[in-house]
A and B are shown apart, each in its own frame.
Chain A
Amino acid sequence: MEVAAALVKGNVAAGARAMRWLDDRDPRGADVVSAVIGHTGGAHVVGLTGPPGAGKSTLASALIAEARRREHRVGVVAVDPSSPFTGGAILGDRVRMARHALDPDVFIRSVGTRGQAGGLSRSTHDTCLILDAMGYDLILVETVGVGQDEIEIVALAHTTVIVGLPGLGDEVQAVKAGLMEVGEIIVINKADREGLDHTLQHYETMLHLRASAQPDAPDAWTPPLLTAVATREEGTAAVVDAIEAHGRWLRANGEFAARSGRRARAQAMVLLRDRLSTLLDQHADPQVLAAVEARELDVYSAADALLAGLREALRRG
């Protein structure tokens, strides 16, 4: 398989084409994944998430610059929302990362969510896998800034970085955010803005509550609370320090491979659900659906009947 062979050697056009196939659900994408899987597992996948306007793209750009100084090869997956009405999207995250456009050791890919909820696209996992196979050892995934429950990234990434900013209704934000319970590194960006002390206080309280809710373990990871001004690259080296430290912690505790494994397992279930959903659409008995529409049959009985129909269809092969 030409594309697979080329991309594991680092060929950019081949990798980009594989990502396109996977995003478009072209069956050739699955063949590439089978062919390159043995070349994956080495990359450290880092999620960047947080509310809109927190400066995730600008922070990503500063992190790329610092990671390049440390000779990481950096892959970036930047997710932006697709229109639920037209399916179209404006993917503009590259604008803030333009200075890395000509660096051969930086690969940036923009993807639309294409109907997927949770701040990622369905293809994000696959895109990371291709970047991994191409030899990018640090992969940054920038999620859609939807805010409070976009925890899909936690299942995908080895390390989740929560990006906050001063003075944005912090009390509500920090307490409600499901993310605060899971993020491994917290960065308050735009730290030169008014309200920083107040914001830091709230995040400290949150982290304290979180720590006290967890059982004492001597080697547990303590999420650092950092501040940064990404536009001036202030504090961003410390963020890369924290990412690297968390990577070392994961490896020392056997968590690095465990997280990759859980991620692969979850992705297999996603694909299974996808296929089952297609099968359901193909085999849903129109007569049963018509009966529901005419209010002659209730929805629960209809679901039972449709499932029985699917089982029958699968038995017949």
Chain B
Amino acid sequence: MAGHTRPLRILLAKLGMDTHTVGVTVIAHALREAGMEVIFTGLKQTPAMVAAAAIQEDVDVVGISTLSAGHTRSLPQLAQLLREAGAGDKLLLAGGVIPEEDRPLLEQAGVDRIFTMGSDTREIVDYLNQWWSRQPGSPD
């Protein structure tokens, strides 16, 4: 993250009963290698738990990994909770198994970007670095 004066902080979580951790672990390490501070909150999180943690940690980005159904309900809920708490400016990302037909609903609900299976971690890192360089207080 050359040129950035402060590290990007990102919260990574898994919602619901989904216990597949390989993907989120790989991403956490890639983001750490890219100089970011990754706050991992664990499995079986509810939207309310993720929203509360995102606010206490004052992260810039919330990344949700989902490999089981339920995201069409839980992700919009999370976006809503963040907005209600005045934290709607945080970037909300989702990744994992998300069928193409769910995209419009999620994007409309406030998910800023969806990374599907097979996304290269480099793609995620590049996307975040570009987004971060456009944020105030992080000249690049």
Known contacts: A91-B37, A107-B56, A109-B57. The answer to whether A86 contacts B86 by CB under 8 A is: no
Per-residue A-contact encoding for B1-38, CB less than 8 Å = 1, 0 else: 10001110100000000000000000011011111111
Contacts of B32 in A (CB 8 A): 83, 86, 88-90
Q: Is A12 an interface residue (CB 8 A)?
A: yes
Query: At the interface, yes or no: B97 with Cβ under 8 Å from chain A?
Result: no
Q: Could you tell me if A89 and B38 are in contact, using CB atoms closer than 8 angstroms?
A: yes
Q: Spot the interface stretch: B42-50, B71-79, B106-114.
A: B42-50
Quick check: is A98 within 8 A (CB to CB) of the other chain? yes
B53 within 8 A of A: yes
Q: Judge whether A267 is part of the interface by a CB distance below 8 angstroms.
A: no
CA of A40 to CA of B56, assembled, Å: 20
A19 and B38 in contact, given A13-B85, A90-B32, A94-B53 (Cβ under 8 angstroms)? no
The proximity string for B residues 58-95 relative to A, scoring 1 for CB distances below 8 Å and 0 otherwise, is 10000000000000000000000000011100000000
Q: Is B55 an interface residue (CB 8 A)?
A: yes
The count of chain B contact residues (Cβ–Cβ below 8 Å) is 33
Contact of A13 among B33, B34, B53, B87 (CB under 8 A): B87
| A residues near B87, Cβ cutoff 8 Å | 13
The 8 Å CB contact of A101, one of B28, B33, B39, B52, is B52
- What's the Cα separation between A102 and B29 when bound, in Å? 27
Residue from A19, A92, A94, A114 in contact with B58 in the complex, judged by beta carbons closer than 8 Å? A19
- Whether A95 contacts B41 by the Cβ 8 Å rule is yes
Q: What residues of A have a CB within 8 angstroms of the CB of B37 in the complex?
A: 82, 88-89, 91, 112
Asked if A86 and B41 make an inter-chain contact with CB atoms under 8 angstroms apart, the answer reads: no
> What are 27 inter-chain pairs, A to B, with CB distance below 8 A?
A13-B85, A16-B55, A16-B56, A16-B57, A19-B58, A20-B58, A23-B6, A24-B6, A24-B137, A26-B6, A83-B33, A86-B32, A86-B33, A86-B34, A87-B1, A87-B35, A88-B38, A89-B37, A90-B38, A91-B38, A91-B39, A92-B39, A94-B42, A98-B41, A101-B45, A109-B57, A114-B7
